[in-house]
Amino acid sequence: MSSVHPESLLAEVAALPGLPGVYRYFDAEDQVLYVGKARNLKKRVSSYFQKDHGGTRIGHMVSKIRRMQTTVVRSEAEALLLENNLIKTLSPKFNILFRDDKSYPYLKVSGTGGAFKPGASTAGTGVKPEVYSRIAYYRGGVEKKHRYFGPYPSAWAVKETIQLLQKVFRLRTCEDTVFANRTRPCLLYQIKRCSGPCVEAITMAQYAHDVAQAEAFLRGETQAVLKDMEVRMMAHSDRLEFEMAAEVRNQMNALSRVLHQQSVDNVKDTDVDILAVKVQGGRACVNLAMVRGGRHLGDRPYFPSHVEEGHAMVNVEIEDDVGTELQSLEVKVLESFIAQHYLNIPVPLALITSEKINTKVVDAIASQSGTKVSVVHNPREQRRSWLEMAEKNAAIQLARLLAEEGSQQARTRALVEALDLAPDDIDALRMECFDVSHTSGEATQASCVVFQNHKMQSSEYRRYKIEGVTAGDDYAAMRQVLMRRYGKLAEAMKEGASDVKLRMPDLVLIDGGKGQVSMAREVFETLGLDLSLIVGVEKGEGRKVGLEELVFADGRDKVYLGKDSAALMLVAQVRDEAHRFAITGMRAQRAKVRVGGGRLEEIPGIGPRKRAKLLQRFGGVRGVEDASVEDLMSVDGISKELAESIYQALR
């Protein structure tokens, strides 16, 4: 095996120290193949080059290694953290990889209202938004002046919790600008979903107490909240304040109903994550369910890539560790998820897992936050119910994924057969589809969407702003977008470029009939490209879905695949995605032009976020134009220098 590797690489392997660390393998194109960790770098890395791995996945990977990088660390825990940071950053081909999801949503309690102490002086304060805390859905960075609860598995879970807090504690949800300018209470006050702090319908002390109770409820201190409510109700009753006592009683009833519906009145756990894994057909699913404040907030499925490759690599590594048992695929997937997922978010105090995992993984992650995390494999009572529910959901989600992937693969295969295509690899079949969108010639935009590996590749989508053509001339717009997309590519191919990223797609779909296809043919003839790649999707009689016909640029007759054809379903799916992507881009561009928002973004230092804040604060561009420098400075993030720049630029 070592005969295929450079002498410099083998010499580097021989010189490695016997210390813990992390190693990376690279191929001839300098693409990362694998990231691994070791207690003994020399022993671990040498084993790859000393053994004959045959025609296995390991042998395939090792034969491609041309370069290596290593990093020595102080402990196995540091090695595990560095390894998974690199896996998430480099996306190696032979590691089990969980893609980063969007940041988790939180429930945010803003301002200082929760810190207000009953009995403090309120003289001269007026109605200030920052004194009356607001509850809101939130994603992003954390600020110390606010309180955050979560994370939650979905936006729906946050919004449901906000509705619950409105019903029980009547906390405000309005923006500070709305709050500061109210002269009478809004509809939420009328339907008893807000206590009306904007018009001083509640005292600062009473509101602060409600905020404190809401936060205690979110922390899972439900019995303490109910007991406090009972004490307040009896105190009002003793003072003959029966209306106020009735209000507290209604709060207690609402809270009791919530606790009963969600079966959390007797639950001791407050913050727990439940992790269940299911593996089938070369794919895996990890289902993560979250319990926060004793409430089950829902779950979310995760589907890793490179499952079988990563498992094979790990078992080779384990064989080098004397006395260590081989891991099942389920265990490795679960450990990989924990190591990658909790790098960027807090770890709850307890994890419930469907498989028995190595506690070193959890200890390494927990060491970052300085907390002790317990791991339970065979839970009882309520925890057992949570785990069984998570396991069932993991099986359902994986079955759905396998069914969808099987359907997409069948559609791809049907299209290849229907159009007599001959891709090198059907899994790598690449289609690019173009569409043009405008409103009576205004804000013309073209889209290019990509289908590959049996699914849409949204990261490779492109929009093109069409300029210099007659308004409404779709043919000229199509000519421009095709020249811009394939002009440089054709030049590179003529010069003999071999970069995989520069290859032409296997199929170029055009949303249109003979006219659009003729225009595409002219472009391809000019560039010297293969005309057989171009296929137009012509709408059928009455523009009915399922009656589309395919038009070819190389002279072939039209083809009608049939409304039940799997090939036509795939073509329609890609065509509709191109249409959707073009329309959303056109509408955004049109709105930008009509409101004049583009003028703001042209000012140095004004990006989308600051532009949105300015437009929201002043009600539109005209309001921004009329604002003084002092008014502009009142917007969060606008400094005096930037305010002066805006003031001058809009005049």
Beta-carbon contacts of residue 250 (< 8 Å; ≥ 6 apart): none
Concatenate the DSSP letters of all residues of 164-175 into one string: HHHHHH--B-S-
Grouped pLDDT means (10 residues each) for the chain, 651 residues? 74 90 91 90 87 75 89 88 88 84 80 48 52 87 80 84 86 88 88 89 89 86 78 82 78 66 51 92 90 83 83 58 63 90 84 90 82 88 90 92 86 88 82 87 85 90 88 88 91 71 85 91 92 89 78 88 85 91 78 55 76 75 81 86 84 69
Please check whether the two domains, 426-592 and 596-649, share a CATH topology.
Answer: no
Q: How far is CA 282 from the centre of its chain?
A: 24
Cβ atoms of 217 and 229 within 8 Å: the answer is no
Q: In whole angstroms, give the CA distance from residue 476 to residue 454.
A: 31
pLDDT tens per residue, range 439-470: 766 678 899 999 998 889 988 999 998 888 88
pLDDT at 169 (0 to 100): 87
344: phi then psi, degrees, rounded to nearest 5: -115, -5
Q: How far is CA 524 from the centre of its chain?
A: 38
* CB atoms closer than 10 angstroms to residue 113: 25
Strands 350-353 and 272-280, by their bridges, are parallel
What is residue 381's DSSP assignment?
A: H
Which pTM was predicted? 0.66
- For residue 82, which of 339, 380, 383 has the smallest C-alpha distance? 339
Strands 442-452 and 462-465, by their bridges, are antiparallel
The span from the first CA to the last CA of the chain, in angstroms, equals 72
**In this structure, which topology does domain 272-321+328-399 adopt according to CATH?**
Nucleotidyltransferase; domain 5 (3.30.420)
Q: In whole angstroms, give the CA distance from residue 648 to residue 629.
A: 9
**In this structure, which topology does domain 2-90 adopt according to CATH?**
GIY-YIG endonuclease (3.40.1440)
Domain coordinates in residue numbering, the chain: 2-90, 272-321+328-399, 426-592, 596-649
Q: Which amino acid is at 304?
A: P
Degrees, nearest 5: CA angle 309-43-357? 50
* CB atoms closer than 10 angstroms to residue 56: 11
CA atoms within 13 A on the CB side of 118: 9
Cβ atoms of 605 and 629 within 8 Å: the answer is no
b/e string for 143-156 if b means 16 or more Cβ within 10 A? eeebbebbbbbeee
600: three-class secondary structure by DSSP:
helix
- For residue 127, which of 186, 48, 203, 192 has the smallest C-alpha distance? 203
- The superfamily (CATH) of domain 426-592 is UvrC, RNAse H endonuclease domain (3.30.420.340)
- For residue 553, which of 532, 524, 571, 539 has the smallest C-alpha distance? 532
* CB atoms closer than 10 angstroms to residue 280: 12
192: three-class secondary structure by DSSP:
coil
pLDDT at 510 (0 to 100): 93
pLDDT at 353 (0 to 100): 95
Instruction: Please tell me the class of the 596-649 domain.
Output: mainly alpha
Beta-carbon contacts of residue 157 (< 8 Å; ≥ 6 apart): 105, 290, 297, 298
Q: Which long-range contacts (CB under 8 A, 24 or more apart) does 203-206 make?
A: 203/122, 204/113, 204/116, 204/122, 204/125, 204/131, 204/132, 205/116, 205/118, 205/119, 205/120, 205/122
